[in-house]
Amino acid sequence: QWIYLNGEYVAKHEAKISVFDHGFLYGDGIFEGIRIYNGNIFKCKEHLDRLYDSAKSIMLDIPLSYSEMERALIETIRKNGMNDGYIRLVVSRGDGNLGLDPRRCPKANVVIIVEQLAIYPPEAYVNGLKSVSVSTRRNIPDALNPKIKSLNYLNNILVKIQANLAGAGEAIMLNAQGYVAEGSSDNIFIVKNGVVFTPPCYVGALEGITRGAILEICGKIGLPVRIEPFTLHDVYVADEVFFTGTAAEVIATCEVDGRVIGSGKAGPITTRLLEEFRKIVEIDGLK
């Protein structure tokens, strides 16, 4: 396995970053998780747009141009002979001193890892996940805007720990006002009376690329969509509830906080959206 590390390709066990890297010391950096389907980088432009926007927002200079980054991704995939898998692209502030001032970090570190993906087993897409709402709140748009895909994932990790303790596969995170924001690392949708709902990102959600693809598919197949805030009550009484994310794709949750959702299995709209999503992944990418 070859890792891209600041312009070089190094073997997995040789790929090392300094303990003075501010990504390590402070979580000062950004990342993307991207899928490779049949040799294509799915929604490459959308992921790179989000990466460069996150960088701009936190005033992080990525030492590669957009097209150089694209080439680095393609080359890393090629070197690893990867046809289907997952790309983790990380840009940290770089090596500095123990103070948090980013001016002490002259150059960002750029890492690209491609790997096989440990995804949910096929039956999970039929039976759905169990999920629980958790007490950890999603940070609302302020300095650490949820739209920035930063290396500060402690919130999400605490949420995952709470889900693990409850024996659930995913968590539902609320914002400080009690509106449903997203999962631990997935966006959330509900379906009620044939209408698909997802929270607006200002509620406290990452602008997920899979979320965007699903909204596009809904438009294409004529499913009405409403992007509006909703509460846990709306989740409990929904006909279907599902999560979307690069790794998870589209996965139903059929039990939320002990309430059975719909029939207790992935519903017809969730199943249709997953089917449509899997149709586009192999064609809508960068070779």
Q: Which residues are catalytic?
A: 149
C-alpha torsion 107→112→118→124, nearest 10: 80
- Neighbour-count burial of 175, counting CB atoms closer than 10 A to its CB (0-12 exposed, 13-18 middle, 19+ buried): buried
**Residue 255 interacting with ligand PLP (CB under 6 A):** no
Q: Are strands 2-5 and 109-115 parallel, antiparallel or unpaired?
A: antiparallel
Q: Which of 208, 262, 267, 285 binds ligand PLP (CB under 6 A)?
A: 208
Binder among 209, 235, 251, 269 for ligand PLP (CB under 6 A): 209
Residue 285 interacts with ligand PLP (CB under 6 A): yes or no: no
In this complex, which beta carbon is closest to ligand PLP, that of residue 94 or of residue 245? Answer: 245
Please tell me whether residue 162 binds ligand PLP under the rule CB under 6 A.
Answer: no
Q: Residue 209 has which token pair? A: 């690329």
Judged by CB under 6 A, the residue of 6, 9, 24, 33 near ligand PLP is 33
Is residue 182 close enough to count as binding ligand PLP by CB under 6 A? yes
Shorter beta-carbon distance to ligand PLP: residue 169 or 245: 245
Helix (H, G, I), strand (E, B) or coil at 255: strand
DSSP alpha helices (H): ranges in 129-253?
Answer: 154-165, 209-221, 232-236
**Which residue, 255, 263, 264, is CA-closest to 166?**
255
- What is the x/- site pattern for ligand PLP, positions 115-154, by CB under 6 A? ----------------------------------------
Which of 246, 266, 270, 276 is in the footprint of ligand PLP by CB under 6 A?
Answer: 246
Which member of 3, 206, 235, 252 binds ligand PLP (CB under 6 A)?
206
Can you tell me the distance from the alpha carbon of 54 to that of 149, in angstroms, rounded to the nearest whole number? 6
Q: Is 186 in the site for ligand PLP (CB under 6 A)?
A: yes
- Which structure tokens are listed for 59? 């005033």
Three-state secondary structure call for residue 64: coil
Task: Count CB atoms within 10 A of the CB of residue 40.
Answer: 19
* Cross-strand partners of 51: none
Using rule CB under 6 A, residue 217 touches ligand PLP: no
| Residue among 40, 54, 175, 185 that touches ligand PLP (CB under 6 A) | 185
Residues near ligand PLP (CB under 6 A) = 33, 156, 182, 185-187, 206, 208-211, 244-246
